[in-house]
Amino acid sequence: MSVWQKEIGFALLLFLVALISGSLTGHILLFMFLLTLGLWIRQLLQISRFERWISMGGRGEYPRVSGIWEDIYHHVYRIKKNERKRKKKLGKMVDQFRKSTEALPDAAVVLGPSDEIEWTNKAARDVLGLHQSDKGQRIPNLIRFPEFIRYLKSGNYHEAVILPAPVDHRITLAVRVVKYGAGLRLLLAQDVTQLKKMERMRKDFVANVSHELRTPLTVLKGYLETMRDMDDGNSPLLTHSVLQMQGQTERMQHLVDDLLLLTRLETQQKKVQCVDIPALLQQICKESDALETAAGRIELLLETDTRITGEEQELRSAFTNLLGNALKYSPDDSKVTIRWRRSESAVILDVEDQGEGIVAAEIPRITERFYRVEVKRSKKVSGTGLGLAIVKHVLMRHDAKLNIVSEPGRGSCFSCCFPVTRACR
């Protein structure tokens, strides 16, 4: 028999007793009233006991009761017990998470919607100089580097910002912000001192080697020039060797020049001015047109006279490289089109050829340093593999992007897309 059946059976029994007693004494209504009053007072007492137990947190053993109330106590007791277990488990997990984030070698700071500090780990306190008591303070008031404040305000957290550590300026930090939850952000700072040092060493090494190679190369070139002048043509081997040596020194000269240019792009501040791109393109096309393999092949379409803010020499190098490639990697009688145009959001230079094209899998790699696509060609095409790396660097320094669309056997289109905010006329 279920609890409810027992409870109803008991109530019916009482009702029957009251009915019989009432009919025997002739006071049915009085007995009924007394029965109802008794049942009501009993329930009230049970509710009051239950309220007292639950208001004390429902902890420990519940009072000894019977019937339906025993079931109610039992269910509530079980729910409370499960809740306590879950809380304990959750607490343990939070504790473990805190301990692991505390032990992280990278600094981590949880920021609220108004840049206020909500939580920091040990590394954040060590390397960013934050204290436990800084909780609730706005982080821009504590880390006052302008580039950091700009980065935080920008809301664009795709890349990290490089800063010296506030506690020790010899430490270099890469700081980045990750958004999560509702308005919360996690600030992560990683010590990149060694990495930056190695990068600087690599740049210095390349710059020094390239610079040092220039003098011996000039001497070699001079002697080779003299040997060629002195060559009376009696020894075909000598003539061939001198020509080969001249070709190779020429190639080395290009390599050294490109490496030095890349180093300059990586290290030097640029001198910004409003560059007359249409005039620059006309000049580049005229110079290239003078070359034997390019004569009459270049078509220049100036659809806009927009000028852009930038560094003229750098832009000249990038555009010359793109035009040089278009001429190099297409047949000697094919057209190369250069178009300067403006759209709603960008000012674009397209360099389009009808040449050999590039297979899709190679496109992401061709802007890497020294990367050259190995293709069987009817003519030998010389190059350093540095041209597109230079183009990429120059465009990066001008907030521009390089888009490459190519179809093997049909041709390629290299587009430099400058943001319209760069337009200065």
* Rounded-to-integer distance, Cα 400 and Cα 409, Å: 28
* Nearest residue (CB) to ligand ADP, 278 versus 408: 408
Residue 350 CB, shortest distance to ligand ADP, in Å, is 12
* Rounded-to-integer distance, Cα 124 and Cα 105, Å: 9
Residue 397 CB, shortest distance to ligand ADP, in Å, is 17
* Rounded-to-integer distance, Cα 190 and Cα 169, Å: 14
* Nearest residue (CB) to ligand ADP, 22 versus 387: 387
Tokens of 290: 């003078």
Residue 270 CB, shortest distance to ligand ADP, in Å, is 21
Q: What backbone phi and psi angles, to 5 degrees, belong to 117?
A: -75, 130
* Nearest residue (CB) to ligand ADP, 166 versus 357: 357
Q: Please choose, from the candidates 89, 87, 122, the residue with its C-alpha nearest in 3D space to the C-alpha of residue 103.
A: 122
* Nearest residue (CB) to ligand ADP, 335 versus 342: 335
> 162: helix, coil or strand?
strand
> 253: helix, coil or strand?
helix
Residue 337 CB, shortest distance to ligand ADP, in Å, is 12
- Tell me which residues touch ligand ADP (CB under 6 A): 321, 325-326, 329, 353, 355-358, 366, 371-373, 383-389, 412
* Nearest residue (CB) to ligand ADP, 108 versus 262: 262
> 75: helix, coil or strand?
helix
* Nearest residue (CB) to ligand ADP, 342 versus 369: 369
* Rounded-to-integer distance, Cα 338 and Cα 360, Å: 22
Residue 254 CB, shortest distance to ligand ADP, in Å, is 8
Residue 407 CB, shortest distance to ligand ADP, in Å, is 10
Q: Please choose, from the candidates 258, 328, 329, the residue with its C-alpha nearest in 3D space to the C-alpha of residue 291.
A: 328
